[in-house]
Structure 1
């Protein structure tokens, strides 16, 4: 448990008395353990109810210094638990601040109960000026295109249904945030009648949809007839049984496997059936693995058509049979293009990918008589990766990943975040909590908050949280570390600091080449240098011990060991690692 603030001992209310008490009670009843918040007068009644009615327990309150951190912490928590946390945002201004984080969580398909406030809706109750500019007629419209559902209940009894429905929807696959807006006037209205609260067991989400038995049998026939089957494991739960079933499916078929750095760990990367290390963009070996496959099964792979187009510009030229199991189309609308290109699917399965794996395994066990087609040793125990040449004097971006793998030993490390362009070939995933994926929507400032939320979810588990992020990501989200310090949430944060918005340098170089202009100017308006921000000082200003800049690998190793010891003691720790400009894996850029 996080170190929560304790209320002054006294006589707590034994019954709900105010409209906001109903909302607070419902957060407890839907199973929310924590809420992150940045205070605001629009929900002062709700805040009082969380403290003086619930006693700051179930949910417990985590104060944040920015609304973006409020949401990203809840996002990180969901990455570990597959369950929602509460994120409380003040009126329209707080929602506007937090909307970037909500978009990230939506693109990442993570559950979250976002509680907002507006008003008072009744104009006669508004204070001059401030209550007017913090009131919106349809506040949910700000985020409606990248949430699953929203509501603004107009009575205490309607508040009950709003929370039951929101909890049910955010937990149901495909998961995504929901938003409930509380009228400030309603929060501060005294209840004059009893409220029917309902029972949690009657408002649970249904089991995720499964494929028909006929479809599973057909898919099994197709996979068993394949000479070179390929499994694309995309989104998947943190459930250990689901992890084991994915391994069993690959071994039953003797199929090659690919996974993505954009998603959480779904398959052991040291397994010999891994065709290539986890990918961002397809390297030549990955392209060959896709091109040579005669049957491809995608299990909720994010941007499946984008993967295919890296192999075939015209995906109609693909000869492999393509099966795709996903529920994601249930969230597809017109505003955001996060639905990606439409893949040419031969066997579409509108079903949960974890459920499809389970169904397939059951059929294949019978078909193969319990004799998997692959019966080798599961772990190849590869040699420790090597550092880059010149590592005694300089840190290459991949060297941070190499250092973590070389130093981890048997430590149960959870990699909370990785930089854009992470290599993926050195740090290995051996279980579903070894790597927690990306930010979802590629929005900067998420890395620090995600790390804090993951540390919150894993506190007391024995796992050591480590996060690697870029300097731009950290600088935009640095004050999230204050929440880690305040509530004693242990994590090692390493900034891979190239002193530049380097991805954009690459884009400026691409444009310059296309236009025949000097590429030497790509750095202008991009470099974060002269003066270089003192990142370790920023961390210390939030109450987190830190060091740096570290400029060579021997010093980096010693810093990481100090950081891991601090995390073992229950403290956050920070390292500023100055790395050479570049990427371990170069991202794609439009043009050449």
Structure 2
């Protein structure tokens, strides 16, 4: 719950950190997630005693990694950045994995750091020395869009304004401003103003040039079997509706991916296959090999995706279809990280925000008035979602597949947001009808992100009427479980479902592969992987953070009952944990 301070100062701004706090408020930040630290004690005081702990309100966390994960989860829903405060170099090091994950996810985020006195003569013995770095931003510079370390109040205002502008400019990403402690704690002997922040706002998302738009329209006009690949996109309902309208206007087959948040209704007749998973599928290969035009709208790893399904090897023998690729992602490529993936072949490169470009295409097609949608394979018969089983089969072993079908059936007639879905979730259980039904994976392949992402999503969805559920593996849950305390502290309604196979099972698969390759005993694949002796008490850990929970479930019927019970508790404003003890294994569906 947000804590309200007493006797807040309503006098003039007198400290360096006060103007930084005023700037953060003026930019519209609602929250700042943090673990308290002495390096930003000045800013902390300013938020409490100068701003009254609102706009932004403090989101107190038990670990810096959770603070960043919560901000990441919040932005996945809200389409706006949250602020985060990190304590000195040690806080940045704690949070660095989650910052990298936010970078790979292209999430906007304003990270405020701090360092000890730049003047060594003013450092406290021992502690200020170890919490001071000459270039603290170097710790994360390779996976933030921009960083700065201002040393005056005026420079700090400008740094925060610039950081906010850069973070909100597409392609989005985290930014870092490190505040020197003396700047924060020095009384001002001059007037320092926060300017009208609207004059420093981010620009509109870039659209395609007229020439590029014409080239794409000309190619689409003559296409016989086009495929639209919807990748990254916003949660705005207008953008969602535009994607549907474009596909229908073209009569083009649509593909989406489980890597990204829901971008198109999966049961639409043009979404002829289940969302793309981690492994290639024969039906996907057949569809893509038959396409004469592929329009990629910020599709993740386009080159790897096409080569895995169309044969060949990326740059050596790229797909034969005419490829048009709309993305701004190239602006963020650097030599340190390979998150930009393989280099995709493209006949037309569209340097534009994908949602803006979809709106442009739709306006152009509607403006012509004579565009006739193509007849597509979608008109030939039932598509995957109508044929695929939705109801779980209680006669089958209780595994990841049965858990997913049970959860999917439960969510069918409810407004549910899946903040996360566990590894091995079957594609055929992915029934998404709105942009908030699924918020995507962790793009950086980080660990322990699931709880924090779910808490952040629940914060953004508070009072929306939607039920926030995070479905995650036991390893992910255990690494991030302390993030749940923040949900209880804020009284956020939400539910966690743990797909508990009592193992780091993904690595069992890798060990099995090694054993087969080297002709060694496959039976040893679980050594060093199993979470047993003792098995962690997943429900007990959540209860310690303020959640309610029943007994572990081991079958479909019990899971269904627990989901209903949990939904009632969440509807009343509570938090619920379900330990679903499944047998190990992943689904191929």
TM over 0.5: yes
State the match for 2:290 in structure 1.
Answer: 292
Q: Which of the numbers 106, 109, 121 marks the counterpart of 1:109?
A: 106
Q: Which residue of 1 aligns with 2:421?
A: 418
CA deviation digits over 1:372-391, x for unaligned, max 9? 446999998837834555x3
- Return the match for 1:257 from 254, 258, 265: 254
Answering whether residue 16 of structure 2 is matched by residue 19 of structure 1, we say yes
Q: Distance in 1 between matches of 2:215 and 2:563?
A: 50
Question: Could you list the runs of 5+ residues in structure 1 that have no partner in the other structure?
Answer: 587-592
1:455 aligns with 2:488: no
Query: Which sits farther off after the overlay, 360-369 or 133-142?
Result: 360-369
Kindly state the Cα deviation for residue 279 of structure 1 after the two structures are TM-superposed: 1.5
* Paired residues of 1:217 and 1:363 also in contact (CA < 8 A): no
Are 1:491 and 2:494 matched, yes or no?
A: yes
Work out whether residues 148 and 178 of structure 1, in 8 Å CA contact, stay in contact via their aligned partners in 2: yes
Which residue in 2 is equivalent to 1:271?
A: 268
Q: How many corresponding residue pairs?
A: 582
CA deviation after TM superposition for structure 1 residue 497, in Å: 0.6
- Structure 2: 5+ residue stretches without partners: none
Shift of 1:409: 4.2
CA distance in structure 2 between the partners assigned to 1:306 and 1:384 by the alignment: 27
2: CA distance, partners of 1:489 / 1:134: 34
Task: Return the TM-score normalized by structure 2.
Answer: 0.96
Q: Say whether the 8 Å CA contact 2:307–2:318 is kept in structure 1.
A: no
- Residue 537 of structure 2 corresponds to which residue in structure 1? 534
Supply the distance in 1 between the matched residues of 2:388 and 2:258 (Cα, whole angstroms).
20
CA distance in 2, matches of 1:15, 1:257: 57
Residue by residue over 1:140-193, the C-alpha shift from the partner in whole angstroms, topping out at 9 and shown as x without a partner, is 000000000001111000011011101101001000000010111111110111
Q: Choose from 365, 377, 382 the match for 2:386.
A: 382
SS of 2:110's equivalent in the other structure is strand
Are 2:403 and 1:405 equivalent residues in the alignment?
no
SS in 1 for 2:551: strand
Name 1:589's counterpart in structure 2.
none
* Matching of residue 472 in structure 1 with residue 475 in structure 2: yes
Partners of 1:18 and 1:424 lie apart in 2 by: 54
C-alpha distance in structure 2 between counterparts of 1:35 and 1:398, whole Å:
38
CA distance in 1, matches of 2:207, 2:353: 6
Counterpart contact for 2:275–2:430, Cα < 8 Å: no
Q: CA deviation at 1:490?
A: 1.1
User: How much has 1:19 moved relative to structure 2?
Assistant: 0.9
Q: Is the 8 A contact 2:391 2:409 kept in 1?
A: no
Q: Is the 8 A contact 2:458 2:493 kept in 1?
A: yes
Taking a change above 3 Å as real, the CA distance of residues 13 and 122 of structure 1, as seen in their structure-2 partners, is farther
Aligned to 1:165: 162
Q: After TM superposition, list the pairs within 5 Å mapping 1:131-530 onto structure 2.
A: 131-281=128-278, 282-311=280-309, 312-315=311-314, 316-369=317-370, 371-373=372-374, 382=386, 385-387=389-391, 389=393, 391=394, 394-530=397-533
CA RMSD of aligned residues (A): 1.8
Cα separation, 2, equivalents of 1:551 and 1:205: 50
Residue 428 of structure 2: SS of its match in structure 1?
coil
Deviates more, 1:233-242 or 1:207-216: 207-216
Q: Does 1:578 align with 2:575?
A: no
Matched position secondary structure for 1:550: coil
Q: Secondary structure at the match of 2:512?
A: helix
Q: Quick one: distance in 2 between partners of 1:124 and 1:254?
A: 70
